[in-house]
Amino acid sequence: MTIHKEGYTSIAIATILFGIINVLSFYFLSSSIPVLSLLIFIGTLGLLLFLISFFRIPKRQLTIQENAIVAPADGKVVVIEEVQADEYFTDRRMQVSIFMSPLNVHVNRNPVSGEVAYSQYHKGKYLVAWHPKSSTENERHSVVYRKDGKEILVKQIAGALAKRICNYLKPGQQVNQTDEMGFIKLGSRVDLLLPLDAKILVNIGDKPKGGVTVIATW
């Protein structure tokens, strides 16, 4: 396991705060209220370990498959439905949405290899990630991948806690399947808009792994 570059500053600040809080706690409380001092140590250590785990990149055998659309994120499948596209596309598409809790790995990966045909950031609200309007009203970053004349759109969507979406892709860029596309801090959601003829291989409630689980084939 390694730590994602987006976490370096946050972890460094948290480690300094952890040290300051516990030095002060030990100096002022350990002799008079040792139980409280111990509880402060355990609580702050737990928060620090949680923060470190949030930025983790676990070692995985990633899936490279020509006709596969691989999960761009860890999480839980919460939506599988046909929708009218509201960005870039003008036709109807199959939407697959993956909800990411704060406990999930938050690295986002390219679901396919190909060309980045579109990459656009949108300011917005911070509705809870499972809210039906979060796809269109929340802060988000949309990317369209083009491969062999076919296209899919991936939306990184901020949630009530997520305040920063990182995306590394630019239009015209050639990318490889399962390489990093970005990172979302704290709980959030990722939507995929797929062609109607894509064969969906997951069900509501499934828990895909980013870069590993095949969401659909085309």
Number of neighbours of residue 31 by Cβ within 10 angstroms: 9
Q: How far apart are CA 11 and CA 7, in angstroms?
A: 6
123 three-class SS: coil
Single out the catalytic residue among 25, 119, 134, 188. 188
DSSP string, 36-87: HHHHHHHHHHHHHHHHHHHTEE--------TTEEE-SS-SEEEEEEEEE--S
Per CATH, which fold does 68-217 belong to? Answer: Glucose Permease (Domain IIA) (2.70.70)
The pTM score is 0.84
Tens digit of pLDDT at every position of the chain (218 positions): 788 888 899 899 999 999 999 999 998 888 889 999 999 999 999 999 998 988 898 899 999 999 999 999 999 999 999 999 989 999 999 999 999 988 898 899 999 999 999 999 988 665 655 555 555 567 889 999 999 999 999 999 987 665 678 899 999 999 999 999 999 877 688 999 999 999 999 999 999 999 999 999 99
Model pLDDT, residue 139: 84
Model pLDDT, residue 106: 87
Model pLDDT, residue 125: 62
Active site residue 30: no
Please report, for the chain, the start and end positions of each structural domain, with discontinuous segments joined by +: 2-57, 68-217
| Residue of 72, 80, 89 lying closest to 213 (CA atoms) | 72
Model pLDDT, residue 87: 93
Model pLDDT, residue 74: 95
Model pLDDT, residue 194: 97
Model pLDDT, residue 203: 97
